[in-house]
Chains A and B, each alone.
Chain A
């Protein structure tokens, strides 16, 4: 009996330790993910700032203006011509499916089989399919209305994020979509996973085949600005080198035409992110959703009769462009319900003061809690284009796509993500009651078990991409709703390895991956960390206590992680550190990342690059206007200037030139973006392999 007690006591301790490691791993991934989203919004706001304050002729502005100028505001016939697939020849060597329209069951089955066998659908058919999809979507209402009476049961899937395996697994378990087996797909079909395009093709083709069997809701990743950072743009351009740009452009239109929500039996509301205390379904139903190509931008105003002026003039907010290319209006991804500030009140401000204020917003992003009009001193009567209603509508949209629930009552801006809000159980009760609903189904957040109830089971989060952060990080799930509207949840995990690995092994593996990501963050903030450590080490002994290490790290990284619990894994080879002290210089040396070919080691820009490589890549892709994957040396330099302006740091021209010259250019002086990013993919060095250390140029 005593033996049993001993074994049980020992094992339970072990299991508890495993559990807490799992939770820490989870919070690492999640906090880094959300910090990335916040980053992207800040970057985007920064570009907005640039647009306002650089002259149209400036090269910086030219590089990014195409992001903002919807100069290709075609009429429908012109769209048809631009996206015409008819001139695209399908060679005889093409062995994939040939689609005929209107689609029949055979087409879709063939497409599904082809995709399973990793065959690429020819761009001609892609464009054709997307064209038909757009035609279908544009006549749909903002809010899909569905009833269970016909089919008896409806299935709802959450985020898929390019995880084709998961979608196929769901189809395998639950059946293919049809009129009898209807589905709602709740947004975030793309980004991060590698098969986003295939997922779209499958969803769209099933929708064309069974319009009443497939309902799509827009997610915050159905947004070309977000796609620039999170991989979808890259995926499309990689798979469709010749026509990728056209495909992306057409997808932009399609994303803006995706419905925003679905209501089932007038009782269950399904939307991607969530709600806020001001959510009003009537307003949402009324707005013109196609005006929001990106949810991060204020609504564009479509000059009905007049085309936009060429040459960098922004059509946004202008009915009939004046020749003046100067941007009138500034908008951040603002939050809050305070009244709008009228321009007259601000007319006493100098331009410099406005500039300063706006620059501050670019850094603050969504923590701004006021929307303002910024009028130039020249044209005070030209500033009513974007109305208060527009701003209200925009807020409704952003809240729907970006918000997250929180346990406490109230409604506050979602500072972590940078968009939308956090809403509490009181808001849920209120909004559901107001609209006579009984359940809110949303997605947007990865959950360990694939789903999670909150707010007294009135809110259900459903997430369908298993192994989202890492293999075995989480399960996926989907919901079945019958006429009784009782949610029936099914979980799954798409991974062969999960069957072979023990719990211990899978936790270990996920944990290693999370720790690696965390080490990258630490490395990327090296200078700041060293400064913080030195505050505790005024005599520069190079040593600090573990306690101080934890405090300093927390202060610099702002990731809100339990550092003391992670300490033992992050400081591994410090050998327990004598008397609770850490030699932080040694520790950084151990953390060092270097590129495999040592090309960038000498430049001194290493740290900046690692820290901001997502931003860098995003900027590259924006600059690469023709989506060729190549940018010129000059554009490369401009990228760095943009980045340094955004970061408000000095990056000297010599440093950039040094960087450029240490990369192998093609003879024509262009850089392959992918190659460049690969060049500093992080490779960590373990202390034991010290000998023959690379001189990193900058002292630690």
Chain B
């Protein structure tokens, strides 16, 4: 039936997308990637997993005896399922904005870099120093030296090339 053909074609397309993303990190051309790159690969395919969710996936695709490398044969079926089931969906803008507003207790419309850093580096799945610096360099208003989070969220979302 036409539908079945469509479905099959769709799955094949998903496979190719996963394969392309995987290949970017397959430095030795042997269909394996360093386990540390799995997060980047999954996220580049449009998913928004937490670190914990990422660890679960890795546990699923790792070898019986972890080698530090993930093979494509194991990665493909798991990742296909993730994409087909639309797991780890993007975060709606308003929810994100609310998250920032929670931090902005005084409702000033902005956050100081120190307070944001403190929060993100101590709570949740903490940022490393490097991650924090990178985020600040993008988020900080150069004149006022604060983060206008509403603008920041808006800017980053437009940037989305998907």
Contact = CB atoms under 8 A, between A and B. Distances in A.
Main secondary structure of the interface of A (DSSP, over half): helix
A563 B119 CA distance: 39
Given A11-B135, A504-B138, A569 B161 contact: yes
B48 A564 contact: no
Given A4-B123, A408-B28, A547-B13, A564 B20 contact: yes
Interface in B13-40: 13, 16-17, 20-21, 23-25, 27-30, 39-40
Contact of A562 (B23, B28, B30): B23
B48 A503 contact: no
B99 A24 contact: no
A6 B20 contact: no
A546 B42 CA distance: 21
Contacts of A564: 16-17, 20
B28 A407 contact: yes
Contacts, number: 115
A16 B120 contact: no
A547 B124 contact: no
A15 B127 CA distance: 12
A339 to B, nearest CB: 31
A547 B16 contact: yes
Contacts of A4: 99, 119-120, 123-125
A565 B120 contact: no
A550 interface: yes
A548 to B, nearest CB: 10
B91 A10 contact: yes
B13 to A, nearest CB: 5
Interface residues of A, number: 37
Nearest to A4: B124
A3 B95 CA distance: 9
B158 to A, nearest CB: 11
B59 interface: no
A58 to B, nearest CB: 46
Contacts of A324: none
A547 B15 CA distance: 11
A209 to B, nearest CB: 43
A9 B16 contact: no
A494 to B, nearest CB: 20
Contact of B125 (A5, A407, A408): A5
B47 interface: yes
A598 interface: no
B82 interface: no
A7 interface: yes
B124 A12 contact: no
B116 to A, nearest CB: 9
A407 B29 contact: yes
Contacts of A565: 17, 20-21, 24, 44
22 contacts: A3-B98, A4-B125, A5-B124, A8-B120, A8-B127, A10-B48, A11-B127, A12-B39, A12-B131, A16-B42, A16-B43, A20-B41, A21-B161, A23-B24, A407-B28, A408-B30, A546-B13, A547-B9, A562-B20, A562-B21, A562-B24, A564-B20
Closest A-B pairs by Cβ, 10 of them: A4-B124, A16-B43, A3-B99, A4-B123, A20-B44, A407-B28, A5-B124, A562-B20, A3-B102, A16-B40
Given A9-B125, A13-B90, A17-B160, 16 more contacts: A3-B98, A4-B119, A4-B123, A6-B96, A9-B48, A12-B131, A14-B159, A16-B40, A20-B24, A408-B29, A547-B13, A562-B23, A563-B20, A564-B20, A565-B20, A565-B21
Interface of B: 9, 12-13, 16-17, 20-21, 23-25, 27-30, 39-44, 47-51, 90-91, 95-96, 98-100, 102-103, 119-120, 123-127, 131, 134-135, 137-138, 156, 159-162
